[in-house]
Amino acid sequence: MKILVTGGGTGGHIYPALALIKRMKAINDDIEFLYVGTHRGLESTIVPNHSIPFKALKVEGFKRKLDFEGLKYNLKTIGYFIQSIKRSKKIIAEFSPDAVIGTGGYVSAPVCYAAAKKGIPTVIHEQNSVAGITNKFLARYVSAIAICFKDAENQFKGQEEKVVFTGNPRAQEVADIQANDSLKRFGLDPKQLTVLIFGGSRGAAAINNTVIDHCQALVEADYQVLFVTGREHFEALSSKWKDSCGSENDQSKISIVPYIEDLPSVFASVSLVVSRSGATTLAELTALGVPSILIPSPNVTEDHQTKNARSLSEAGAAELIREDELSSSRFIETVNQLMSDVDMRNDMAAKAKQLGVPDASDKIIHLLMTLMNG
């Protein structure tokens, strides 16, 4: 059996694809995979590092601002898209896949479009509560649409019969991780109450600045803090912390690091997570049943992170704080309230777990097999 996988641009599109591939290999090691991504996206390095055959397309996203420069750019983008369809047809003809799955990002468009036009069973996977422009475009051509949030169900007008709730494959990949001693790596005590604060792999300036603004309260708190700044912010923030609140007394309970490679292992070992509300992060938090404070990024398409976060907050599985509320005392008050109330955290954890989909990959695999078998 041959499966072609496509998706890229951000980790939110790449890691679900890798999780699905990993699960399919565990079930049948004879499956042959080919991953098609962009020539300069994160997938161009991440995927080959997982020993998965990789081919690249040159494709760009459209500019939303339609001034002269935007129109000029979009005309060039249309040219890339037409060329990438031709390239996709060639790749598909050479590889001859039994099925194709696209996990989002602009690169999914030409590949899934070309596959669907050839009559190959094709599935697109939408991770967010707000469907992306690529998946909306592809919806009418593909065989099925896998979603992770019920809110996305009604966003594929005229194609509702194709929509299947599967969840995010990343959830199944991490669901069995147990509490461990991973906090020792950061100089913290695994037996103590711990808050993990991070703003994504690149960090988030608003979250980082809020932590610095409240550093004295965090130093004086009865819990530990693991603060992930993002690589590009680490040196400056470490210096700011030292100037504002650094002392020998806080070294054993405050750990500041630039990046964490295996976040789910840490998620499973902390008492509370404060983070953005990207789809992959929420899939991991719900799979593991971790209480959280979610601070959505306002700088994403159609404010989809806020809608993602609401799916948890309205279920009682998380607290939602808007970024424009961070300048108030609400941040530290919410953290302290949750860290002082174990029953509240346990209730949130249980409700988060109820939202998790621990068999997400298996659901997508079943969908693919059903399509391939007619």
| Residue 11 marked as a ligand binder | yes
122 is annotated as contributing to ligand binding = no
127 is in an annotated binding site: no
By the 10 Å C-beta count (0-12 exposed, 13-18 middle, 19+ buried), 209 is classed as middle
Residues in contact with 304: Cβ distance below 8 Å, sequence separation at least 6, in sequence order: 128, 129, 130
Distances (CA, A) of 294 to 79, 164, 277, 299: 39, 26, 6, 15
Does the annotation place 199 within a ligand binding site? no
Q: How far is CA 16 from the centre of its chain?
A: 8
Mind giving me the DSSP string for 232-260? GGHHHHHHHHHHHT--GGGTTTEEEES--
289 is in an annotated binding site: no
**CA–CA gap between residue 332 and residue 335 (Å, rounded):** 5
249 is an annotated ligand-binding site residue: no
Is 85 annotated as contributing to ligand binding?
Answer: no
Per the annotation, where are the binding residues?
A: 10-12, 128, 201, 260, 305
Residue numbering of the annotated binding site for UDP-N-acetyl-alpha-D-glucosamine: 10-12, 128, 201, 260, 305
